[in-house]
Amino acid sequence: MTARRVDDTLVPEAAQPASGVGEPARRFPASVYAHGREPDVRFSFANERTFLAWIRTALALIAGGVALAAFGPGLHPHLRTAAAALLIVTGIAMPVPAWLGWVRRERALRRDEPLPSPLLSMPLVGAVVVIGILIVLAVLL
């Protein structure tokens, strides 16, 4: 098997980019992929799985808010509405910091820098605590 140098890395012929001879493939977002060097694919995939887990969590929060609004008629109406709205708003807002976290981690991996601290953990914990308190109050009142 023959190999060539692409971006200071020895790449087997079969794995070379299809965009041209020795030219790196263009990937989105360029602000991430234009710098550093290609990290171990396992770490990039782990970063992507983490991003997708946050997206699943966002979808679950939205679905939970819709379910609470639709199927919680026995609960205190104002508290139920507040909890459902907070669930939905949190779910809608989560993809933005999830994306920014993916970008920050991917850049750090490419530059061999320490991984940045998570953006979503504490805000999500706070939102879940407030939602839980609202639901408990809605049940008790």
- In this structure, are 19 and 59 located in the same domain? no
Can you give the pLDDT at residue 16?
Answer: 45
Residues 69 and 123 in one domain: yes
pLDDT in tens, 38-77: 989 999 999 999 999 999 999 999 999 999 999 888 888 9
135 by DSSP, 3-state: which? Answer: helix
Contact between 95 and 55 under an 8 Å Cβ cutoff? The reply is yes
Bond before 17 cis per omega within 30 degrees: no
Are 89 and 70 in the same domain?
A: yes
- Are 53 and 120 members of one domain? yes
The band of 11, judged by pLDDT with boundaries at 50, 70 and 90, is low
Q: What's the token pair of residue 108?
A: 């750090």
Within its chain, how far is the Cα of 79 from the centroid? Answer: 29
Lowest mean pLDDT among 13-17, 24-28, 46-50, 135-139: 13-17
Band (pLDDT 50/70/90 cuts) for residue 26 is confident
Supply the range of the domain harboring residue 101. 39-140
* Higher pLDDT pick, 121 / 48: 48
Residue 64, token pair as written in the block = 């939970």
Number of domains composing the chain: 2
Are residues 68 and 84 in contact, defined by beta-carbon separation less than 8 angstroms? yes
Which residues are bridge partners to 77 per DSSP? none
pLDDT band at 101 (very low <50, low <70, confident <90, very high): very high
The helix or strand, by DSSP H or E, that contains position 112, with its residue range, turns out to be: none
CA 133 to centroid of chain Cα atoms: 26
Residues 44 and 73 in one domain: yes
